[in-house]
Amino acid sequence: MSAPPRRLEQIARSTALVSGLVLLAFAAAELCNDAIGLVSLEAMGDVAAWRTALIRSWPGTALLFVAFAAHVGTTLWFVARRATLRMPLWDGILTISGILVPVLLLPTIVDTSGARVLFGVDDDSLYRLAKLWPEHAFFYVILIVLLWGHGCLGLHQWLKLRPRYASIAPVLGVVALALPIAAVAGLVAAARVVSVLMADENFAGQVRAATRWPTADAEDALWRWRLGALAAYAVLLLGVAGALTARFLRIVVAPKIDVTYVNGPTLKASTGPTLLEISRIHGVLHADACGGRGRCKACSVRIEQGEASLPPRSAAELEMLGSEGPLIRLGCQIRPSAALTVTRLTHTADAAAAEPELDMAGIERQVAALCVQLQDQSTVLGARRAYDAIFLLNEFLDMVHAAVKNHNGWVARVTGSGIIAVFGRDDTAEAACRSAATASADIDVALDRMNEKFAAELGRPIAAAMALTFGTAYLGRIGAGSPKPLTAIGPVIDAAIGLASLTEARGNQFLSDPTAFQAGGLDPKGFELLTLTAKSGETRQVFATNHARLALPPDKPPPVPPG
């Protein structure tokens, strides 16, 4: 199976998501109905009458059928086109439960809806409960656990990337656990009552007559239908297994290219799989938080060489990487077809531990340090609810982080409402200072964009205080306990922090140590030259501006303006 057009993949992802949400809503309604069995059999029957009226209406039936077919279809399609079976644990659980649910659900559908359509059985709650207890009860509980677990895990993986999910996750977690427990308890309570009632021949006869209970011949026919449905699904699974095998064979014989990971291995990789799949096939650590669905940015890489061979950004990349430079791509969206060199931009904990050059003893480097702080943070954040304040702060830090990463910088420390970034860990002094200046110009522009985006919520624009210094830093793993984070300390970092405070106190946007301008060959035109006097009486000079974009080196393309 060759790689499908990216648009088709996008449609399949959306279809899987929407159909999954529809099925989860139906499942939740079913579980709520079962839970009412804890109240009484009558109450359960009354609610079931409403629920079945909805499901048996033609829009309800059509929606349920289409959602089921679409969800199973897309699940199998994504399985068939996997390039490797290596995947995160949660993705494995989601995939296996997605394959198993129809195995348990199809016989239930035949026994209820199938019996109604084929033999006119009234599959109301009395019929279902009488059929359920005791021999099918265990089977049904397994179905509830598998189906509900699959739905909740899928929903969690989708929502966990949303900024406000953390605040509602505990409530959703309680509902996700309580509902199936209540449903099973209600179902067992109601089924036991029905089983006692069914022991009375008179009552059983009335129930059989009222529900048009299937005859022995009809039961035989339903058994054959159950078998047929499972056989058809087994054929489908065999087809998927065949497609998967063919895909693996194509990958084995496909032309090979060099894929080089900066600070990592160089591989001979087959063309066809995505970069993230190549990483997984070869056991290279590569972060991902959405299972390669193009929703998280964790797999981002910077293309160091070979960008010309890559297709333009996919819709998912355009959405996720809108403000990032053109060399930043999502590893799960690009399929290398020629030699490629990349830097992984999100370090997994294991990958960080695998960086041998920055050991506990540390190293000394001449670097540019850029300290970026949210100005007047107590006023900006103090008036907001906790989750709004955290959301806004994360948007700000993400924006700064993106600009830093985009220009080969490294976030050495997050200081509450700011970031200390280091440039030049593996670069010349000139390149380091120019990269830091370019990042500060990008932040200036991105801040305008952020203020536009949140204008209605903010009430007043937010501002950043930036400070650029150049000098000596010590890089290493510093901290208490284990693992120790990789960070930077030293005079240049202290100077950047001190200068950033001064930037804020003066109401400027950007102050720079002239040494950084000198080392980077930057043009101070448009900057004010200030002479500052320290408490000790010592004087120093700094360049100051309210527009950090003036620091952009003349040979760099200007950042994209807002809008």
Residues engaged in binding ligand FES (CB under 6 A) = 276, 288-290, 292, 294-299, 330-332
- Can you give the length of the chain in residues? 563
Q: How far is CA 266 from the centre of its chain?
A: 27
For residue 363, give both structure tokens. 């190293």
Torsions phi, psi for 217 (to 5 deg): -65, -40
Q: Are strands 363-374 and 464-477 parallel, antiparallel or unpaired?
A: antiparallel
Q: How far is the CB of 277 from ligand FES (least distance, A)?
A: 10
SS3 letters across 351-389: HHHCCCCCCCCCEEEEEEEEEEEECCHHHHHHCCCHHHH
**Selection from 533, 391, 540, 551 nearest residue 466 by Cα:** 551
- Report how far residue 408's alpha carbon sits from residue 414's, in angstroms, rounded to the nearest whole number: 17
Question: Toward ligand FES, which CB reaches closer, 326 or 479?
Answer: 326
How far, rounded to the nearest angstrom, does the alpha carbon of residue 396 sit from its chain's CA centroid?
A: 19
CB of 562 to ligand FES, least distance (A): 25
Peptide bond before residue 483 is cis, with ω within 30 degrees of 0? yes
Output 325 or 559, the one with its CB closest to ligand FES: 325
Q: Which of 152, 330 has the CB closer to ligand FES?
A: 330
CB of 14 to ligand FES, least distance (A): 15
Name the minimum Å distance from CB 288 to ligand FES. 3
Q: Which is nearer to ligand FES, 162 or 540 (CB)?
A: 162
Q: How far is the CB of 293 from ligand FES (least distance, A)?
A: 6
In this complex, which beta carbon is closest to ligand FES, that of residue 163 or of residue 514? 163
Minimum CB distance to ligand FES smaller for 343 or for 375? 343
The type of residue at 161 is L
State which residue, 176 or 281, has the beta carbon closest to ligand FES.
281
Nearer to ligand FES, 406 or 508 (CB): 406
Backbone φ and ψ for 544, nearest 5 degrees, come out as: -130, 145
Complex with ligand FES: residue 123 or 288, whichever CB lies closer: 288
Nearer to ligand FES, 333 or 509 (CB): 333
Residues whose CB is less than 8 angstroms from the CB of residue 408 and which lie 6 or more positions away in sequence, other chains included: 302, 423, 427, 431, 435
Q: Where are the beta strands (DSSP E) in 211-349?
A: 256-261, 266-270, 300-305, 328-330, 340-344
111 or 288: CB nearest ligand FES: 288
CB of 423 to ligand FES, least distance (A): 26
CB of 290 to ligand FES, least distance (A): 4
Q: What is the DSSP string of 449-475?
A: HHHHHTHHHHSS---EEEEEEEEEEEE
Residue 295: CB minimum distance to ligand FES, A: 6
CB 280, min distance to ligand FES, A: 11
Angle between helices 41-56 and 6-35 (to 10 degrees): 150
Least Å distance, CB 205 to ligand FES, is: 59
Exposure string (b/e) for 373-400, b if CB count within 10 Å is 16 or more? Answer: bbbbbeebbeeeeeeebbbbbeebbebb
What number of other Cβ atoms are within 10 A of residue 362's Cβ?
A: 18
Q: How far apart are CB 254 and ligand FES at their closest, in Å?
A: 22
Please enumerate in sequence order all residues whose Cβ is within 8 A of that of 384, keeping only pairs 6 or more positions apart, or say none: 392
Instruction: State the burial class of residue 265 (Cβ atoms within 10 Å of its Cβ: 0-12, 13-18, 19+).
Output: exposed
* Radius of gyration of the CA atoms of the chain, in A: 30
